[in-house]
Amino acid sequence: MAAFISCTNEKAIPDYAAYPDNVGKIMITKCAVPGCHTDKSKGAAGGLSLESWDKLFEGGRNSVAVIPYRSDYSTLHYYVNTFPDLGVTLTPTMPYNRDNLSREEVLLIRDWINNGAPNRDGFVKFSDNPNRKKVYVTNQGCDVVTVFDLESLTPMRYINVGNSAGVESPHNIKVSPDGQYWYVISTGGNSMQKFKTSDDSFVGEAILGLRNWNTLAIAPNGQKAFAIDWSANGDIAEINLNTLSVTHNLGFNNPHGSAFNSTGTILYVTLQNSSEILKIPIDDFSMFETINLYTAPPSSALLPHEIIFTPDGSKYFVTCQGTGNTAVRVFNTANDSLMNVIPLGELPSEFAISTTTNYLFVTCTDDVSTFPGKTGSVAVIDYTTNTLVTSLYTGHQPHGISLDENKKMVFVANRNATNDGPAPHHIGECAGRNGYVTFIDMNTLTMVKNEGGSVKKVEVSVDPYAVAVRP
């Protein structure tokens, strides 16, 4: 719910429109009233109509107003609540220019949301399809994962992650090759956690130990994963995804990015503080090779961050963040030889690669060169010609990125962590600045827009960092 103008003389439908009666009485008589949250006047009310339960879940311009089971992430509760002991309170208080809701009414709304915000028949939104396509976004500042419904591009759930009271900073998230599970690791946590994609319920966790866990690579057969610890005496922990047992491989120099070759027999790992990567046979870590990322020694370290293979496995790409060397470097898998260097803006970070087009998408988180006065860009590379096609401004400090081939959509998590970024629409339960997710149309290589022509951006929680898609 957002800032509003004064009401007009239009008339909302005077019924409870699939809301439970006690909730509907509040919504229809106090919220979906002339000039406020109706279909006709929603343009001046944050784009949010409350004329019916179904309209509620279409959300507004910034995001959805209600997350089932989570009043602590529902802006509807924030704006009607005037009692600090009941959670976040925001202004302008709703209903706008009318009497505040009573404590009993606020509790009714809060408890209804925490019970799933069901409709009159008891149905909870997004609970009807265990095969639903989803997008997962980690929020480092809050230890939650935002779950989007892929079809409507709206947040549908917030899932707590981590196993301690402190902030663990969920850093990397991956969906299993069969689409049945998602896995998350945290830089301040001690485990890899496993959840079902059907209902996002917790399955179990592999205890890794408290280290700086940064990336996670899942073998193509879905049986093993490797968690990478970005430390001076770094661990590359092998995890059996069925039993969640762990084997530790210590002694690597600041490993960070990770990816499997096409057969799943070799794990490639970037050494973030150097100009090298590792090539590791997963059946025998002692047989690893070190590969230089240059033909002539650079004047300063290349700082390789992330790595990805082309769909046919013939080439791989490495983001390099070193001063004066911000680029994507392209290598021939057959002999690990350098094929090309593609200069990019500051801090090239994460990849998403398409199997149905020739596009490789690269987030450049701190790029201030490509779009003067703005921070961040997403580079689009043709991976068949190893050339830059275009760059897009997707939002402030883009980092995590993933895509869906069927919807032809790219999903970008914009961290918005620094104060020079756009002011968040609201605050929540966690300290810090909310970030947001934006969307690239792969067919046109343009940003997806709202009905009014503005770039569609959906606010999430604090410091959205990594993205994964359940196709």
Unique residue bearing structure tokens 């779009």: 371
pLDDT at 2: 41
Share of the chain above pLDDT 90, in %: 85
Has this prediction a pTM greater than 0.85? yes
Instruction: Quick: pLDDT tens for 361-393.
Output: 999 999 999 999 999 999 999 999 999 999 999
What H or E segment, with its residue span, contains residue 76?
helix 75-80
Kindly report which listed range (2-6, 50-54, 70-74, 467-471) carries the lowest average pLDDT score.
Answer: 2-6
pLDDT at position 354 over 60: yes
pLDDT at 68: 98
Contact 26, 69 (CB under 8 A): no
Instruction: Quick: pLDDT tens for 1-40.
Output: 443 333 443 444 445 889 999 999 999 988 878 778 877 7
Q: Which of 458, 417, 462 is nearest to 438 (CA)?
A: 458
Q: Which of 156, 153, 170 is nearest to 457 (CA)?
A: 153
Sign of the Cα pseudo-torsion (96, 99, 105, 107, in order)? positive
Q: What is the mean pLDDT of residues 459-463?
A: 97
Contact 106, 114 (CB under 8 A): no
Domain ranges of the chain: 21-114, 134-470
| Yes or no: domain 134-470 corresponds to CATH 3.40.47.10 | no
Q: What is the mean pLDDT of residues 415-444?
A: 94
Looking at 104-235, which runs of residues are DSSP E strands? Answer: 134-139, 144-149, 154-160, 170-175, 181-186, 191-196, 202-207, 213-218, 224-229
Contact 409, 441 (CB under 8 A): yes
Q: What is the mean pLDDT of residues 221-238?
A: 97
pLDDT at 107: 97
Q: Is 410 exposed, middle or buried (0-12, 13-18, 19+ CB in 10 A)?
A: buried
